[in-house]
Amino acid sequence: MSDFRQDFLEFALARDVLRFGHFVTKAGRDSPYFFNAGLFNDGHSLRALGGYYAKALLASGVRYDQLFGPAYKGIPLVAATALALADAGPNLPFSFNRKETKDHGEGGVVVGAPLAGRVMIVDDVITAGTSVREAVDLIRAQGAQPAGVVVALDRMEKGRGEASAVDEVRALYGIPVVAIATLDDLMCFLDARPELTAHATAVAAYRTRYGVQASQVAPAAVP
């Protein structure tokens, strides 16, 4: 596990974004951990989070020309990521969408840079994949090409079928999904901390029941 992934999980735990205990997921599953990226809700947290997104993208090797954040959660994420990437070197245009089309002023549904070329979608997590589908449709409708999706955490968990939501996005759209951290990273993180041994056991049992292997659906080739 690369250092930035370990640092990210440490930061998420310190900010109470990553919690352990008993939580019920939207699918009705009793999960031993909970991750809520919405709790990165102050300036310092958002700046640091953008930095982790940038590190994950730079480490991925995926080629892209600009960034796009699906409304609403993706709006601060894409701005923070663009800032962090600019500090690291690549100064890229970014944009986001409105939920409703504006018929006055500049109009349209896209705010920021016009969508063009290879567009990386910046989101928090992928659950049902709805926001990704809407983003892909919007990008293509504007004549651009989706280059991939970057998220904070890949739970590597089965959806309604045997594949995870992330795997389904890879297979359906033929684009890579980059994650700052995955469930594999989380398990390594827990194993390295004796004080979290009880949680490691619970997470391992949860993965045995609901998890998918990283190789179950191969990532799409880098465009």
Query: Which residues are known catalytic residues?
Result: 102, 104
- HEC-encoded secondary structure of 25-74: CCCCCEEEEEECHHHCCCHHHHHHHHHHHHHHHHHHCCCCCEEEECCCCH
Contact 157, 106 (CB under 8 A): no
Beta-bridge partners for 24: 30
Angle 156-5-129 from CA coordinates, rounded to 5°: 35
Give the three-class secondary structure for 138.
Answer: helix
Contact 127, 141 (CB under 8 A): no
| Distance, CA of 192 to CA of 196 (rounded, Å) | 8
Considering just the CA atoms, what is the radius of gyration of the chain in Å?
17
The reply to whether omega before 206 is within 30° of 0 (cis) is no
N-to-C CA span, the chain: 25
| Distance, CA of 91 to CA of 134 (rounded, Å) | 26
